[in-house]
């Protein structure tokens, strides 16, 4: 059993007593190279304080494989001299051996020595996957006193690879260069991937940026969060203060930032699931499985503290207990696509056993060799996300789409009449007797078209004002329409039937966030084989603050669509009543097309149609009219998706 500290003292004092023949410099080197652990984590400093009961382990360097053993017999002093070499003319010729390589043996890789707690799970020519212990910094852009995990891996790569061969008289080619793909907080532990080639760096960075990476964390929090398998979502804007601490701003309080503001708060979304709850030392704890929709600094720590359940050991964000003498946060699963082979890789790392004991759970068995299944997505609890209802401008929006009354065609939307409604109806293929769920139905413009065809429609809308307008305009509908005020992300709260033949969400997905709970909620209410149709502003050509029309006067003039950004998701505050009160705003959320496709498929549906629709407006006068009309026909205004529930 490892020795335990019997009294309060510094690590320096303990090592001086335990290693009486060592020098201060040698003891400092043990710390530097991670040879000393305190309660399982590498010691951070020679002056680190110790308490009675702490476990300190000293890990001596592993001798090289070719080092002589202490019990090995000494070489005989009368060993005969080696036999003389034969003359060159007697040696068989080796014509296939390059001249530059003659007389030089291939150098075998040297064994690398990793500090305690650092474990490599996978390594190849393109990347390296490693377990980081708590207390070790991932990397630092500026020089720091302590070695980082990046420093350790650089030494490992240099010592374990075969040096590249020099060709000719030029310099020796450079070896692989490690790239930092993502990070873990110093006091957290778990899985990280680093790139070793340029192609891996670009590919992995893109996978993280487009959210195609599978990541799960385990967090031991203070207090009881909820019953087992309870789920939830925390969403806010996070902003880093000058001192490094991150603060959370509720979505309904954040007013946005100016363009180019590097310090602007960023949207962060965290999903969690309760694995178990228990107590330790009279203190209640909950073990959570956490999944990130975004990857901001300290995101999990700040969001769980927001819910009143800080991570155990996280003094910075309000924790009062420290059962593991560390931040109880562990990156347990990591999955991605290999940049070179295209193979899906999945790695797992068990959390420390005290995480489970504190939550009243037995430690899990060793991870299986096969890839574990992703955790079920967490639905959104009410009130956790941004308020994006159009209730403040319900009357104006109703008039915009429908006209001041049903006979006022001049105020209606030509986009709806000429493009959106005909296309949506074609994709839905409605027939009399069908049951259709109209999500974010607004004032019921699609619902009434469907009801006129004998379809039984249920509409759900977050704005009470728009639902009131829908009921008023639907009073004379030949087929009764049912309307509910409700959240598209939590349709289960409305106790709706789960056997709809079809569902539609028209021009609303970009105002719903998070997206996944809404799509999953829709899928849950469709029968097998049910159809889902979504129409939205084109995510590539109609991005707020990222796309615009431009005019190139050369060659007779050409109108084009400028795109300054597409793949990076973003959120933008937009005016709800253009041309009137600019203070009435809401959020719109940009996502690349792949996000919509991935989300729909992950919720159990197959996409069967994708269509891009241009607008039908035309310019009738002016020198640019013909070119403007050509550009409108070529560059789509809307995107439509149709999916079928498996």
The predicted-structure confidence for 479-494, as pLDDT tens digits, reads as follows 999 999 999 988 999 9
**Considering Cα of 146, then 148, then 149, then 155, what sign does the dihedral take?**
negative
Alpha carbons 573 and 267: distance in angstroms, whole number? 12
**Same structural domain, 232 and 347:** yes
Please give the residue range of the domain that contains residue 19. Answer: 1-61
Contact 335, 346 (CB under 8 A): yes
**Is there a single domain that holds both residue 361 and residue 428?**
no
Rounded to an integer, what distance in angstroms lies between the CA atom of residue 288 and that of residue 299? Answer: 15
Ranked by mean pLDDT, which of 77-86, 129-138, 248-257, 342-351 comes out on top?
Answer: 129-138
The verdict on 476 and 340 lying in the same domain is no
**Contact (CB, 8 A) for 412 and 398:** no
Residue 58, token pair as written in the block:
């000293």
Would you say how long the chain is, in residues?
646
Domain-embedded: residue 578: no
Kindly indicate the confidence band of residue 162, based on its pLDDT and cuts at 50, 70 and 90. low
In the residue annotation, 185 being an active-site residue is answered as yes
pLDDT of amino acid 49: 79
- Give the separation between CA 299 and CA 216, rounded to whole angstroms: 13
Name the nearest CA neighbour of 428 among 535, 518, 539.
Answer: 535
Q: Are 311 and 328 in contact (CB under 8 A)?
A: yes
pLDDT of residue 401 exceeding 80, the answer is: no
Selecting among 54, 126, 185, 490, the annotated active-site residue is 185
pLDDT value at 642 more than 90: yes
Most confident of the ranges 172-181, 256-265, 315-324, 562-571: 315-324
* pLDDT range class, residue 575, cuts 50, 70, 90: low
User: What's 57's domain CATH number?
Assistant: 3.10.290.10
372 in the same domain as 399: no
Count of domains for the chain: 3
pLDDT at site 11: 82
Identify whether residues 269 and 180 lie together within a single domain: yes
pLDDT in tens, 608-627: 999 999 988 888 888 889 99
What is the tens place of the pLDDT at every residue in 87-119? 444 444 444 444 333 333 434 444 557 888 899
Name 7's bridge partners: none
Among 61, 77, 103, where does a domain finish? 61
Q: What is the DSSP string of 53-90?
A: T-BEEE-PPPPPTTSPPTTSPPPPTTPPPPPPPPPGGG
Domain assignment present for 82:
no
pLDDT at 393 over 50: no
End-to-end CA distance of the chain: 55
Task: Find the range with the poorest average confidence among 27-31, 198-202, 573-577, 591-595.
Answer: 573-577
pTM across the whole model: 0.57
* Structural domain ending residue among the three candidates 19, 42, 61: 61
Residue 14 has what pLDDT? 83
Token pair in block for residue 268: 């962060």
Which of 343, 378, 413 lies at the terminal end of a domain, its last residue? 378
């Amino acid at each position: 059993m490892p020795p335990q500290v019997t009294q309060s003292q510094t690590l320096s004092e303990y090592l001086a007593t335990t290693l009486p023949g060592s020098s201060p410099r040698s003891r400092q080197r043990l710390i530097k190279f991670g040879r000393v652990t305190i309660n399982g984590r590498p010691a951070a400093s020679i002056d680190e304080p110790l308490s009675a009961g702490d476990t300190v382990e000293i890990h001596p360097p592993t001798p090289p494989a070719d080092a002589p053993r202490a019990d090995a017999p000494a070489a005989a002093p009368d060993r005969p001299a080696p036999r003389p070499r034969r003359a060159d003319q007697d040696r068989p010729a080796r014509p296939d051996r390059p001249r530059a390589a003659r007389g030089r043996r291939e150098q075998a890789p040297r064994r690398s020595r990793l500090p305690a707690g650092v474990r490599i799970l996978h390594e190849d020519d393109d990347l390296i996957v490693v377990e980081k212990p708590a207390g070790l910094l991932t990397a630092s852009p500026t020089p720091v006193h302590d070695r980082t995990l990046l420093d350790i891996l650089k030494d490992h790569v240099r010592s374990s690879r075969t040096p590249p061969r020099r060709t000719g008289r030029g310099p020796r080619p450079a070896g692989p260069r490690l790239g930092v793909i993502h990070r873990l907080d110093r006091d957290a532990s778990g899985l990280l991937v680093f790139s070793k080639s340029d192609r891996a760096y670009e590919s992995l960075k893109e996978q993280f940026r487009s959210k195609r990476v599978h990541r799960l964390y385990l967090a031991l929090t203070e207090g009881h969060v909820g019953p087992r398998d309870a789920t939830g979502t925390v969403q806010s804007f996070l902003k880093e203060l000058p001192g490094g601490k991150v603060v959370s701003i509720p979505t309904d309080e954040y007013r946005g930032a100016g363009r180019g503001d590097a310090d602007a708060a960023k949207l962060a979304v965290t999903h969690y699931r309760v694995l178990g709850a228990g107590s330790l030392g009279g203190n209640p704890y909950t073990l959570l499985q956490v999944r990130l929709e975004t990857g901001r600094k300290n995101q999990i720590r700040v969001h769980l503290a927001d819910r009143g359940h800080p991570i155990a050991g996280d003094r910075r964000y309000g924790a009062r207990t420290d059962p593991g003498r560390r931040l109880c946060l562990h990156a347990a699963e990591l999955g991605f696509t290999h940049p070179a082979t295209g193979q899906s890789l999945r790695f797992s790392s068990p959390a420390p056993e005290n995480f489970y004991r504190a939550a009243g759970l037995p430690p899990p068995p060793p991870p299986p060799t096969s890839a574990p299944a992703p955790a079920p997505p967490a639905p959104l609890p009410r009130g956790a996300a941004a308020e994006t209802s159009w209730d403040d401008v319900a009357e104006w929006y109703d008039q915009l789409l429908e006209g001041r009354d049903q006979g006022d065609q001049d105020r209606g939307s030509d986009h709806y009449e000429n493009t959106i409604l005909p296309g949506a109806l074609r994709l839905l293929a409605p027939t009399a007797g069908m049951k259709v769920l109209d999500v974010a139905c607004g004032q019921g413009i699609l619902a009434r078209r469907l009801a006129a065809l004998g379809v039984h429609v249920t509409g759900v809308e977050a704005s009470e004002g728009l639902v009131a307008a829908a009921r008023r305009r639907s009073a004379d509908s030949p087929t009764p329409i049912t309307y509910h005020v409700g959240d598209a992300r939590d349709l289960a709260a409305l106790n709706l039937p789960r056997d709809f033949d079809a569902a539609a969400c028209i021009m609303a997905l970009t105002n719903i966030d998070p997206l996944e709970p809404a799509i999953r909620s829709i899928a849950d209410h469709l029968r097998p084989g049910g159809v889902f149709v979504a129409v939205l502003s084109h995510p590539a050509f109609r991005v707020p603050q990222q796309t615009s029309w431009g005019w190139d006067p050369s060659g007779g003039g050409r109108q084009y669509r400028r795109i300054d950004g597409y793949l990076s998701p973003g959120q933008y505050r937009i005016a709800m009543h253009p041309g009137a009160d600019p203070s009435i705003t809401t959020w719109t959320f940009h996502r690349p097309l792949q996000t919509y496709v991935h989300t729909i498929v992950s919720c159990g549906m197959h996409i069967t149609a994708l269509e891009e629709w241009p607008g039908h407006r035309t310019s009738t006068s002016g020198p640019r009219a013909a070119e403007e009309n050509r550009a409108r026909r070529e560059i789509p205004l809307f995107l439509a998706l149709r999916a079928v529930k498996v």
